[in-house]
A and B are shown apart, each in its own frame.
Chain A
Amino acid sequence: MIYTSFIPVLFAFFAALASFKSLRLARILWIIAAALVIIWTCHHGAHHLPDLQSLGSW
């Protein structure tokens, strides 16, 4: 399953742990977590397109 639910949270947790040790590693992990949140949002947000289309013109 590509969009396994806990993967963005897993990266966030490791990033939080890395935030005490290495600034560079922490930033990289936080950026990956942010990118994963965006991808996961696009995946789940696609299910709501019919609702959004009912709201009128965009």
Chain B
Amino acid sequence: MLRNTVRPKFVFALLLPAFLVLGAAFLLKQHGGNAAKPPPVSESVTPAPVASVAPPPAPAPVPAATVSTNVLTPEQRQAAIDAETDRLQQWSMNDDPASLSNILADLANPEKEIRDAAIEATEQFGSTNAIPVLKAVAANTDDTEEQIALLEAADFLSLPGMDFSKPAAPKTADQMSAQAQQARKAYQNKLQKGAQNQNSASTTPPTANQNQADGSNQ
């Protein structure tokens, strides 16, 4: 009889803790599972290489259509430069705003020869309006020599002009010719006199003891 009453109690006592352990394990798995997660992978922290993210590089700048289609021979190129420098020469002797504008535009010409001619043309044109442009172009030029030329031209234009006056009573051609002839004769006489003095001096060179160390000729 004892065997019959103890055996169910013993089984219950064994199964109860087992259920409790399983229940606890289930609860732990449901709520405290993050602790068991693996550490984050390092590559997810490191930023991705730029190349793989950035857009493809922009294509190299395409040369201007005029250059690629109009290929000039060296002779044609030189002829074009000569034609433009001739125009600059003509503009430089004018005094209208359009000519000055054309000259200033050529300060940025891709051809150095034309830019040099344009600098010269600004000096010949002689307008102070060119000064700020010359300075601005100089500030954006890498060529030191060209920078100097631009700044010298700006300095030149900032100077006042020289006053050229004529005398009230001009001389006649005969008067001028006679005076010039007199001046030439006077100069020739001076030269002859100098040559004679040299010759006479050279015939009597100073003796060694005449030339003193202190420089005095006795």
Q: Does B bind A? A: no
Q: CB within 8 Å of B: which residues of A?
A: none
Q: CB within 8 Å of A: which residues of B?
A: none
